[in-house]
Amino acid sequence: MSFLPGTASLLDELDKKLMVLLRDGRTLIGYLRSVDQFANLVLHRTIERIHVGNEFGDIQRGVFIVRGENVVLLGEIDDERDAGSRLVEVSVEDILDAQRREQEARQEREKRLAKALKERGLTYLPDLTHDDLF
């Protein structure tokens, strides 16, 4: 198939195993079953992969519909390279606990930064997105 600009080029990816990075930071891995003109995706046998450091855990999600505007990055998974990864798979409970600890540490760092900036007469605005501004 010749290259078509825009979402039409996603037709070549149908029935392939893809990794999709969402705007909210989540990572989904699943088989692309459908795509439309707005780049809305239907993923089948989807897992949500959570990374913390060199560990990861997979949560089974099944069929997942993703609005095209929420897709940041999309790419095909190479199973051979995935198998040779240096990441260590842990249980869902362990990765969720590690993620919670990581988020708490990030919040504590942001709190200290906000306090230090406030002492200097500055304001800290964490993680502003376009949607937060309007």
Each residue's pLDDT tens digit, 10-26:
888 898 999 999 999 99
For the chain, the distance separating the N- and C-terminal CA atoms, rounded to the nearest angstrom, is 41
For the chain, what percentages of helix, strand and coil (3-state, to nearest 5) are there?
A: 35, 35, 30
- Tell me: the pLDDT tens digits for 53-98? 999 999 999 999 999 999 999 999 887 776 667 889 999 999 999 9
Taking the CA atoms of residue 14, residue 18, residue 21 and residue 22 in that order, the dihedral angle to the nearest 10 degrees is: 40
pTM of the model: 0.75
Q: Which residue, among 30, 92, 35, 20, has the nearest Cα to 63 in the 3D structure?
A: 30
Any idea what DSSP says for residue 86?
S
Please determine, looking at this structure, whether the domain spanning 1-90 carries the CATH number 2.30.30.100: yes
Distance CA 70, CA 120 (A): 37
Beta strand residue intervals within 14-54, DSSP E: 17-22, 27-35, 41-52
Residue 8 or residue 119, greater confidence: 119
CB atoms under 10 Å from CB of 43, counted, come to: 22
Q: What are phi and psi of 18, to 5 degrees?
A: -120, 155
CATH 2.30.30.100 occupies which residues in the chain?
A: 1-90
Judge whether residue 132 has pLDDT over 80: no
Q: For the residues 22-46, what does the mean pLDDT come to?
A: 94
In this prediction, residue 9 carries a pLDDT of: 75
In this prediction, residue 133 carries a pLDDT of: 46
Judge whether residue 107 has pLDDT over 60: yes
